[in-house]
Amino acid sequence: MECVEHYYLKDTPAVVQHLERRHTAPIRCPICAEEFVSRSDWNVHIVQRACVEAPAIDVGGVTEDQFTLLRDRKGRPEWRSLSERDRWYVIYDILFPNTPRPASPYVGPTVAELYAVSPVMMN
């Protein structure tokens, strides 16, 4: 909930942009779980094949595969035909697979309700 309090995430493009900027999962070796700053450093490490197996570490964040799915959706005609509410659910399904959807994709009042009660938000 901290992000909702600190960032103005008015629509799905803003949410995806926020996820990319603030919630990208670190690049890790699948064998030793070492974290890397860049994909090229990770590639060098993998090619060396010198690491020792360690327990997997789940530090959270959005994975590259999830970002690929999110980006692929934006260019498709069916994405453009979805309502904003349905787009939220598509994002939710990508980020939380096999998890039941919440009753509403919104935290608190919907964006339309916020606009109706706060003309300042429209600027």
Mean pLDDT of the chain: 79
**Are 9 and 34 within one domain?**
no
pLDDT number for residue 10: 74
Task: Choose between 36 and 60: higher pLDDT.
Answer: 36
Number of folded domains that form the chain: 2
- Place 8 in a pLDDT band, splitting at 50, 70 and 90: low
Q: Are residues 68 and 8 in the same domain?
A: yes
58-63 contacts, C-beta under 8 A, 24 or more apart: 59/25, 59/26, 59/28, 60/23, 60/25, 61/23, 61/24, 61/25, 61/26, 62/19, 62/20, 62/23, 62/24, 62/25, 62/95, 63/25
Same domain, yes or no, for 14 and 72? yes
Quick one: CA torsion of 20, 81, 115, 11, rounded to 10 degrees?
0
Task: Mark whether 95 and 114 lie in a shared domain.
Answer: yes
Do 69 and 108 have their domain in common?
yes
Q: In this structure, are 70 and 10 located in the same domain?
A: yes
Question: Structural domain of residue 79, as residue ranges?
Answer: 1-24+63-118
Q: Write down the pTM of the prediction.
A: 0.68
Shared domain for 4 and 42, answered yes or no, is no
pLDDT of residue 4: 61
pLDDT per residue as tens digits for the range 51-85 = 898 887 777 788 888 988 888 877 777 888 888 88
Lowest mean pLDDT among 3-7, 13-17, 80-84, 85-89: 3-7
Residue 123 domain flag? no
